[in-house]
């Protein structure tokens, strides 16, 4: 547990000392033969699809229909200056996290699928993609890529099926707990334990300590595919951009407890001793046997 809090504290201090409003210069990479056809509240726009980078971070457009009018942006490590609701913030972070930069998604189709899902998080937005400007040429089908991203987003908040429970086992025994939700492989153990623990795909193997120990908490943390953080880029009268990552992902907690079966606990039995002692009470002396305790 100390290790977890130290990591959280270090991460907080690291973010705290990043300069807010730091200037970043934008660079561009045009994708060949891909055009967006955007309709925002009746205002239609079509143009080349372009990837935007600020200090080597890929940044998505967060304001549908707004032009990019500057070369330098101020960067921020939170959403505090955006005016977006908390629910929208968390949704956009997940889309960005599981989108184009997610392992296995580095194709132009995944990039435009990610951008489309971001834009469609806002009202009155309609978008499709084509191989020529103004909807000419072929329509580009990205339904598979969008479904792949949305499936991962929907699974994000799904916990292993045995979380928030107490795992109990006999001291010295080994038990394997299957995750019916099939998401355990996305997590790693980050807390120490008196028991031996191992995640094998979507099952948790627990070898309980040989001696009975107090119940303890096991902490699981989501595996991240990189160490990048959330960055929001803003400049007055220019499109707001975002290098999207999960700004906070709460660790999961599981309680583990072992026990010693009752038949293995020595039974205390009283048996008479061969020695006797005299007890005097009300001027009458009694002779009674003494007892000893033995473990059966």
Answer yes or no: is pLDDT of 267 > 70: no
Assigned domain for 99 exists: yes
- Choose between 157 and 5: higher pLDDT: 157
Assigned domain for 257 exists: no
Integer CA distances (angstroms), 201 to 55, 176, 179, 188, 205, in order: 36, 12, 9, 11, 10
**pLDDT tens digit sequence for 89-135:** 999 999 999 999 999 999 999 999 999 999 999 988 999 999 999 99
Assigned domain for 117 exists: yes
**pLDDT tens digit sequence for 13-35:** 444 444 566 789 999 999 999 99
- State how far the Cα of 201 lies from the Cα of 181, in Å rounded to an integer: 12
Number of domains comprising the chain: 1
Contact (CB, 8 A) for 116 and 39: no
Assigned domain for 205 exists: no
The model carries a pTM of 0.78
Query: Residue 23: what pLDDT?
Result: 81
**pLDDT tens digit sequence for 68-82:** 999 999 999 999 999
Domain of 110 in residue numbering reads as 18-158+227-249
Assigned domain for 193 exists: no
**In the numeric block, which tokens belong to residue 282?**
């009300």
Assigned domain for 198 exists: no
For the chain, strand residue ranges (E) read 22-40, 43-54, 57-61, 72-76, 125-130, 166-170, 174-178, 187-189, 196-200, 203-207, 216-222, 231-234, 241-243, 252-259, 268-281, 284-295
Assigned domain for 182 exists: no
């Amino acid at each position: 547990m100390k290790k977890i809090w130290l990591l959280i504290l270090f991460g907080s201090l690291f973010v705290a000392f990043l300069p807010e409003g730091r200037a970043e210069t934008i660079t561009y990479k045009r994708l060949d033969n891909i055009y967006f056809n955007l309709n925002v509240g009746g205002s239609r726009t079509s143009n080349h699809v372009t990837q935007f980078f600020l200090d080597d971070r890929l940044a998505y457009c967060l304001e549908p229909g707004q032009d990019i009018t500057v070369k330098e942006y101020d960067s921020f490590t939170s959403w505090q200056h955006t005016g977006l609701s908390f629910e929208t913030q968390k949704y956009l972070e997940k889309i960005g996290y599981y989108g184009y930069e997610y392992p296995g998604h580095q194709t132009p189709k995944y990039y435009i699928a990610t951008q489309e899902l971001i834009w469609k998080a806002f009202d009155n937005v309609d978008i499709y993609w084509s191989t020529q400007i103004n909807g000419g040429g072929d329509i580009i089908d990205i339904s598979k890529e969008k479904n792949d991203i949305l499936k991962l987003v929907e699974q994000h908040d799904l916990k292993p099926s045995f979380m928030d429970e107490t795992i109990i086992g006999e001291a010295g025994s080994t038990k394997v707990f299957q995750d019916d939700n099939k998401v355990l492989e996305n997590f790693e153990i980050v807390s120490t334990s008196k028991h031996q623990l191992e995640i094998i795909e979507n099952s948790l193997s627990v070898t309980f300590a040989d001696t009975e120990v107090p119940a303890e908490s096991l902490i699981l943390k989501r595996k991240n595919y990189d160490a990048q953080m959330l960055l929001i880029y803003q400049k007055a009268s220019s499109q707001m951009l975002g290098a999207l990552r999960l700004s906070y992902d709460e660790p999961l907690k599981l309680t583990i407890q072992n026990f010693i079966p009752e038949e293995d606990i020595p039974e205390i039995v009283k048996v008479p001793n061969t020695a006797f002692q005299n007890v005097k009470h009300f001027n009458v002396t009694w002779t009674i046997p003494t007892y000893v305790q033995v473990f059966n």
